[in-house]
């Protein structure tokens, strides 16, 4: 059997990017609701004969929350998770083959996760995300692989999990 090895440590920026990808739908709904509320308040402020200060202030508040505070809060939450969970900083080492994905545990023993446990994979923004469910994935940056191994890993994932 031909195995594809990987090894490395995830950085904060890679972790934040992965969380953005994983929480895209939830964040889209949240930001959509804030944007609609801001547009409604802007409409109410400008549709009156005299500009309504209350609705104008609310519109500005919603726009600031949407464009400034929301990204800052998201990144701060990701940074807190990244620093709080020390296991994220540990080196990730393992390999993939026809049976599944092997990851080395604390005692340097390979632990197998069969392909049947995964639902899909994504290769986006320099990351390989192998999903256990919609919000949980194994994060493997492309830099964990050398060029031929990355191509063979993507081929294996496409064969086992589909595009």
The average pLDDT across 64-73 equals: 94
- First-to-final CA distance of the chain: 23
Please check whether residues 72 and 107 belong to one and the same domain. Answer: no
Please check whether residues 143 and 130 belong to one and the same domain. Answer: yes
The 10s digit of each residue's pLDDT in 7-49 is 999 999 999 999 999 999 888 998 999 999 999 999 999 887 8
Please check whether residues 82 and 98 belong to one and the same domain. Answer: no
Task: Please tell me the number of Cα atoms within 13 Å of 141 on its side-chain side.
Answer: 15
The 10s digit of each residue's pLDDT in 93-131 is 999 999 999 998 888 888 999 999 999 999 999 999 999
Please check whether residues 19 and 66 belong to one and the same domain. Answer: yes
Please check whether residues 75 and 107 belong to one and the same domain. Answer: no
Q: Distance between CA atoms of 155 and 115, rounded to whole angstroms?
A: 14
Final residue in a domain of this structure, among 29, 61, 86: 86
Please check whether residues 121 and 149 belong to one and the same domain. Answer: yes
Please check whether residues 68 and 19 belong to one and the same domain. Answer: yes
Please check whether residues 96 and 156 belong to one and the same domain. Answer: yes
Please check whether residues 53 and 102 belong to one and the same domain. Answer: no
pTM: 0.83
Q: Residue 153: which CATH number?
A: 2.30.29.30
Q: Distance between CA atoms of 11 and 13, rounded to whole angstroms?
A: 5
Please check whether residues 31 and 43 belong to one and the same domain. Answer: yes
Please check whether residues 96 and 81 belong to one and the same domain. Answer: no
The number of domains in the chain is 2
**Structural domain boundaries enclosing 37:** 15-86
Final residue in a domain of this structure, among 39, 63, 86: 86
Please check whether residues 98 and 81 belong to one and the same domain. Answer: no
88 pLDDT tier (thresholds 50, 70, 90)? confident
Tell me how far apart the 2 most distant CA atoms of the chain are, in Å: 76
Quick one: pLDDT at residue 1?
52
Final residue in a domain of this structure, among 62, 86, 110: 86
Q: Distance between CA atoms of 7 and 114, rounded to whole angstroms?
A: 19
């Amino acid at each position: 059997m031909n195995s594809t090895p990987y090894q490395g440590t995830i950085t904060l920026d890679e972790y934040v990017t992965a969380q953005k990808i994983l929480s895209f739908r939830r964040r889209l709904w949240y930001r959509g609701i804030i944007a609609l509320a801001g547009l409604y308040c802007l409409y109410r402020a400008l549709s009156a004969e005299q500009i309504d200060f209350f609705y104008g202030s609310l519109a500005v508040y919603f726009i600031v929350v949407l464009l400034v505070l929301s990204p800052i809060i998201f990144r701060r939450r990701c940074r807190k998770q990244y620093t709080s969970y020390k296991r994220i900083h540990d080196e990730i080492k393992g390999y993939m083959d026809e049976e599944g994905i092997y990851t080395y545990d604390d005692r340097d023993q390979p632990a197998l996760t069969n392909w049947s446990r995964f639902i899909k994979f994504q290769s986006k923004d320099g990351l390989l995300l192998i999903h256990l469910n919609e919000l949980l994935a194994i994060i493997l940056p492309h830099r964990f692989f050398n060029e031929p191994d990355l191509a063979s890993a993507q081929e294996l994932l496409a064969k086992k999990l589909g595009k």
